[in-house]
Amino acid sequence: MNHHRYGDLDKVWAKTHGRCHLCHLEVDLATYGLADIFGADAATVDHLVPQSHGGDDHHDNLLPAHLGCNASRGTQPVAVTRFRMAGALDAPMSTDGRIGAGVAIMGLGALLGGALTAERDETGRKQFNTTGACVGGGIGLLLAVAALS
Ligand SMILES: [Zn+2]
């Protein structure tokens, strides 16, 4: 969907995986500009740095938001509004961000699993436990899936 002012809104929507960057719930791009029908649930583009604070219409400064959330934020710092609405400081993650976070959690799980279950060999040195690493990675995977779904 192209917008005369903001350009390709699909790209803006892709940044948060189609979620409102303030309340983290889904916001349907098809409702953009239809506030008279959808009211507070209508899609809007929110400026990360408010226009009144010099924020521009560049892609980096734009994120999807519900009309109601956008209005409720006003010119508050984003983190304040997000924390109030979604209990989070960050915008919802894009698909890439979610995959990256999942891989990071798995890696951390494997590292922890290997280190925590490390056993000393006959020379007294600690051996990284590969089985423990696999178990840790598996637990990390489960955590990642639980956290990101
Ligand atoms: Zn919202």
Q: Ligand 1 centre and the CA of 117: distance in Å?
A: 44
Q: Ligand 1 centre and the CA of 115: distance in Å?
A: 42
Q: Ligand 1 centre and the CA of 25: distance in Å?
A: 6
Q: For 65-86, how does the pLDDT look when each residue is reduced to its tens digit (9 = 90+)?
A: 999 999 999 999 999 999 999 9
CA atoms within 13 A on the CB side of 138: 6
The answer to whether 106 and 137 are in contact (CB under 8 A) is: yes
Q: Ligand 1 centre and the CA of 86: distance in Å?
A: 9
Residue 7: its H or E element: strand 7-8
Q: Ligand 1 centre and the CA of 28: distance in Å?
A: 10
Q: For 37-73, how does the pLDDT look when each residue is reduced to its tens digit (9 = 90+)?
A: 999 999 999 999 999 999 999 999 999 999 999 999 9
Exposed/middle/buried for 149, CB within 10 Å: 0-12, 13-18, 19+? exposed
With a pLDDT cut of 90, the percent of the chain lying above it is: 56
Domains, the chain, in order of start with CATH, read 2-86 (1.10.30), 95-148 (no CATH)
The answer to whether 133 and 114 are in contact (CB under 8 A) is: yes
